[in-house]
Amino acid sequence: MLYEIQLIIYDMDGVLIDSTVAIKSAFIDSFNELGLKYDIDLVMKLMGNPLRVILDRTLRVEDAHFMEEFVESYRRNYVEHHLRDLKLMEDVHDTLRYFKARGFKQSIATNGSSAFMRPVMEEFGVMKYLDLFLGFDDAKVPKPDPRIIDMTLEELNIDKNNAVFVDDSAIGLGAGKNAGVHTVGITSGIHTREQIEEAYPDYIIESLLELKKIVSVGATAGI
């Protein structure tokens, strides 16, 4: 059980939203649109990294100059054709509403773009539960660098010992570990339990509702 928690930080993809189909489809569309060879399995294995990091590791050397054109194509395809493929994870509203009603601060820390995805989360009705939304475009460095977690703690004036970070990947959980906050791995994304265990999180859960069992509701959370 985690005591004296005041802040719950969530990753986005694989934790709050199921974006696997949307992301995979947008990648395939853009690779085909630009006539580029690709390995979609490699792309999906790199999920959890920022878009440009994934491209840097998957584009052939001779195709590297397509980077910015691909980013533009991907975002256009994602918005115009695949937003409908996004699904809110089960129990998101119940979980976030539960902790907000009990005085917890809640935020998102994602390797995705906050500017790009904030309207989507607004549409899903999630933003009303959140105190902060930070992405790679805010931190400028990707997880597992702890900067995005450190920025969240500073912005919300929370000590690292009073915060917990929930992520579905070892990469993301590494940021929480490096920042010194409590960490919870969740198996709702595309990463396996074995992959998540590589980050040695404090807990591993299968659904967000299980947070109620491990995060104690106490005086420091406003009760």
Whether 221 has a pLDDT exceeding 60, the answer reads no
For 55-77, how does the pLDDT look when each residue is reduced to its tens digit (9 = 90+)?
999 999 899 899 999 999 999 99
More confident residue, 61 or 35: 35
Any idea where the domains of the chain sit in the sequence?
7-18+87-221, 20-85
CATH number, span 20-85: 1.10.150
Q: What's the confidence (pLDDT) of residue 219?
A: 54
Question: Which pLDDT belongs to residue 49?
Answer: 84
Mean pLDDT calculated for residue range 105-128 = 94
Give pTM, 2 decimals.
0.90
Mean pLDDT of 176-192: 95
pLDDT at residue 61 in the model: 86
Residue 10 above 90 pLDDT? yes
The pLDDT of residue 203 is 98
Please indicate whether the domains covering 7-18+87-221 and 20-85 agree at the CATH topology level.
Answer: no
Average pLDDT over residues 29-46: 94
- What secondary structure, in 3-state letters, does the chain show? CECCCCEEEECCECCCEECHHHHHHHHHHHHHHCCCCCCHHHHHHCECECHHHHHHHHCCHHHHHHHHHHHHHHHHHHHHHHHHHCEECCCHHHHHHHHHHCCCEEEEECCCCHHHHHHHHHHCCCHHHCCEEECHHHHCCCCCCCHHHHHHHHHHCCCHHHEEEEECCHHHHHHHHHHCCEEEEECCCCCCHHHHHCCCCCEEECCHHHHHHHECCCHHHCC
In this prediction, residue 220 carries a pLDDT of: 52
On average, the pLDDT of the chain sits at 93
Q: How confident is the model at residue 222 (pLDDT cuts 50, 70, 90)?
A: very low
CATH of domain 7-18+87-221: 3.40.50.1000
Q: Which of 4-8, 47-51, 208-212 has the lowest mean pLDDT?
A: 47-51
Q: pLDDT tens digits, residue range 138-158?
A: 999 999 999 999 999 999 999
